[in-house]
A and B are shown apart, each in its own frame.
Chain A
Amino acid sequence: MALGLGGEELRRLVHGLVEKEPDISARMLARRIVQKAHRHDGERARDDISAGVIYFRQPRRLILATGPPFHPERDRELAERLAAFPGRRIICGGTTASLVARELGRRIETPLKGFSGDLPPVSSMEGFHLITEGILTLGRLSPWLAQGLPEGVPRDNPARQVYRALQESDQITLLAGTRINEAHQDPNLPVELEIRRNMVKRLAEDLKGRHLKEVTVEYI
């Protein structure tokens, strides 16, 4: 006669899961507990099953840099700031990535494999978790932050990768360069590109308001 998982069994389960994966997220752990309890009931829950997990840990920090500094003399400062950041580092913007690579003496690789044509491809550089194109990618991500991720977005979609990185972080610094790329305002462009400053402001609002992240915005 099954009376439910029981405290001892539950403790064993949780210890086991955490031992195997010390960084397991609260969400995943809660899910595993519920799955186990459900299985214990023969896949037909005999009562409500809920699991709440509170994860006490060090905040996960992330810095997202987008856009070159208004004054090129501050390029070096931007690069060094990123390199010194104690957490995940993301760059959204080809120009920005390029100048950071130059200042830090690192290579950027832009492999084309798996490029889907939906957004510009991601790049990689040592020391950086993710490098994407700027405005188009952030523009794609912006409504997701406001309304949630829609169905069917491939996991390797660049905007989705940024979204995931943001979701997985607690303290986010948005470092927005304010140099205007005039080519972006060329009336011949087939799309309208938002001004970076406004985009970043909106991202910060949604990250704070809807996703309860601690967000700092800096303009350079």
Chain B
Amino acid sequence: MSISRNEAEERKGPGEPKVSVTICAGTTCYVMGGADLLMLAENPPADLADRVEWSGCACLGSCREEGAGRAPFVRIGERVISRVDPESLLKELRDELR
């Protein structure tokens, strides 16, 4: 499920510039690169540390969904992205926050 950027902007009230990012810590995601994402979440770059709420999740369930793409999965706000690596995640977040 995904929502448009505009809807996401509207949902964020004033004083709520934070984006919530959830890294899946499940088995498949972990071995496919999730470990690197979790390390990133623990030590995010300075420009994102305040504007992003980082958290982990025991299981997003995406690896079992048909057509969800390939692990590792990350949930940003309401949408889930697939085949994520640290660079692509950072880029995604910086785009989102602009």
Contacts and interface: CB of A to CB of B under 8 A. Distances in A.
Interface of A: 93-95, 97-98, 108, 110-113, 115, 117, 120-121, 123, 131, 133-136, 181-184, 186, 188-191, 193
19 contacts: A93-B27, A94-B25, A110-B55, A111-B55, A117-B38, A117-B39, A120-B25, A120-B26, A120-B30, A123-B58, A133-B26, A136-B27, A136-B30, A181-B63, A183-B63, A184-B27, A189-B28, A193-B27, A193-B31
Contact of B27 (A108, A113, A117, A133): A133
Interface of B: 23-28, 30-32, 34-35, 38-39, 41-42, 54-59, 61, 63-64, 70-71
A99 B15 CA distance: 35
Contacts of B42: 112-113, 115
B25 to A, nearest CB: 5
A113 B26 CA distance: 17
Contacts of B25: 94, 110, 120-121, 123, 133
Contacts, number: 87
A95 B64 CA distance: 10
A113 B38 CA distance: 10
Nearest to B70: A188
Contacts of A190: 31-32
Contact of A97 (B30, B59, B71): B59
Given A95-B64, A120-B25, 7 more contacts: A110-B25, A110-B56, A110-B58, A123-B56, A131-B58, A181-B63, A183-B28
Contacts of B35: 117, 120
A181 B28 contact: yes
Given A95-B59, A131-B58, A136 B26 contact: no
A124 to B, nearest CB: 10
Contacts of B54: 112
Contacts of B27: 93-94, 120, 133-136, 181, 184, 193
